[in-house]
Amino acid sequence: MNFAIVGCGFIANKHAKAISEIENAKLVAVCDKVPAAMEPYANEYGATPYTEVDDMLEKENIDVVCICTPSGFHASIAVQVANAKKHIIVEKPIAMTLEDTDKIIETCKINNVKLSVVHPNRYRPVVQELRKILEENLLGKISHASCIVNWNRNQEYYDQAPWRGTKQHDGGVLMNQAIHNLDLLLWFMGKPKQVFSMEATRLRKIEAEDVSVGVIQFESGALGTVEASTTVYPKNFEESITLFGEKGTVKIGGTNALFFEHLVIEGMAENQINDLKISIKADPWGTPGHQWIIKDMVNAINENREPQVTGEDGRSALKLVLSFYESAKLNLPVQF
């Protein structure tokens, strides 16, 4: 199956490496406005470089296009690719607005092409184990949850490119960093009913927020808190999700939400809990999430099914971020 990558910045390398690890998958083309950015992919993977998407789509035999451009360009490129009847893997966030997102999803449906959004944290071993715990209802009724992303992105990070930290092409900590954690929160807790949020730009010289705090009321009646920042000194401090249930309390945490920091479940023996913790620590990252997503797309095409992380999943995470933004702007609760 032939892959192409549009946008050869930092994240594109993860896609290229993942494609190279998948049997019967090959990177045949890359596209970027900057020719020098494509050289490593031409040299290492033999990918043909293009500076125009139309040119690449016309000349190459492509099955799947990975969209790795700045977020503000996802929608226009995805629509273009879908109309060329190529399947799509798009980096998070799926787009910057719900209108653009719906246009992507609808165009993919019209052209009968598959769409997957890159939320790779779902495939971390600890996340998979927590998902199993929830599916088996071992925690019972959930009363509330906590979602934390306290990281560091210094000014040099934002100064790398003019689009970083802008509301049009990047967004702030919620849209760019915490959206992965929010996707997991929705995967664990279900659909929100309403949200309330406050945000600020405290330390970074950017247009969007560098710190945000919010609360969620879920349709189940459970409550959730969200705390996110890129202002932590001097490096990433914590990424975690904690679930509080009537029969158990679970926290996955660390600097990248890779471990069980707390695991107590009614009826689960201490040795069983310790074995689970030890098995996660032995290989906390597991197979890279990008590799899972690309392999799943290959299988979804071959099996003619939906990918595991769909466009609708990407839309839900984006909608939560945008609801937080709207609430912070209005200083009022917002219905989801």
State the average pLDDT over residues 224-248.
Answer: 98
Whether residue 23 sits in one domain with residue 9: yes
- Domain containing 191 — which CATH number? 3.30.360.10
pLDDT on residue 72: 96
- Helix (H) or strand (E) run with residue 318 in it: helix 311-330
Q: Specify the pLDDT at position 47.
A: 98
Same domain for 224 and 279? Answer: yes
Q: What is the DSSP string of 178-231?
A: THHHHHHHHHHH--EEEEEEEEE--SS-SSS-SEEEEEEEETTS-EEEEEEESB
Domain that holds residue 132: 122-286+318-335
Rounded-to-integer distance, Cα 230 and Cα 232, Å? 6
- Residue 198 and residue 134 share a domain: yes
Do residues 61 and 129 share a domain? no
Angle, alpha carbons 71-75-79 (nearest 5°): 150
Tens of pLDDT, residue by residue over 44-59, are: 999 999 999 999 999 9
Q: Residue 286 and residue 303: Cα distance in Å, rounded?
A: 25
Same domain as 182, residue 240: yes
pLDDT category at 97 given cuts 50, 70, 90 is very high
pLDDT value of residue 200:
98
Over range 39-45, report the average pLDDT. Answer: 97
Question: Are 237 and 262 found together in one domain?
Answer: yes
Are 79 and 213 found together in one domain? no
What is the share, in percent, of the chain residues with pLDDT greater than 70? 100
Average pLDDT over residues 93-122: 98
pLDDT at 120: 97
User: Same structural domain for residues 82 and 132?
Assistant: no
Give the pLDDT of residue 75. 98
* pLDDT band for position 82 (cuts 50, 70, 90): very high
**Over the stretch 134-144, which tens digit does the pLDDT of each residue have?**
999 999 999 99
Residues 212 and 297 in one domain: no
Which value, to the nearest 10 degrees, does the dihedral of the CA atoms of residues 228, 229, 232, 236 take?
Answer: 60
Number of domains in the chain: 2
Report if pTM > 0.85: yes
Q: What percent of the chain has pLDDT over 90?
A: 100
Question: What is the per-residue pLDDT for 323?
Answer: 98
Core vs surface per residue 126-157: b (16+ CB within 10 A) or e: bbebbeebbeeebbeebebbbbbbbbebeeee
36 plus 130 within the same structural domain: no
**Same domain? 93 vs 154:** no
pLDDT of 172-202, one tens digit each? 999 999 999 999 999 999 999 999 999 999 9
pLDDT of residue 62: 98
CA gap 155, 206 in Å, rounded: 9
Distance CA 29, CA 78 (A): 16
Domain at 45, CATH number: 3.40.50.720
Residue 313 covered by a domain: no
In this structure, the answer to whether residues 76 and 159 fall within a common structural domain is: no
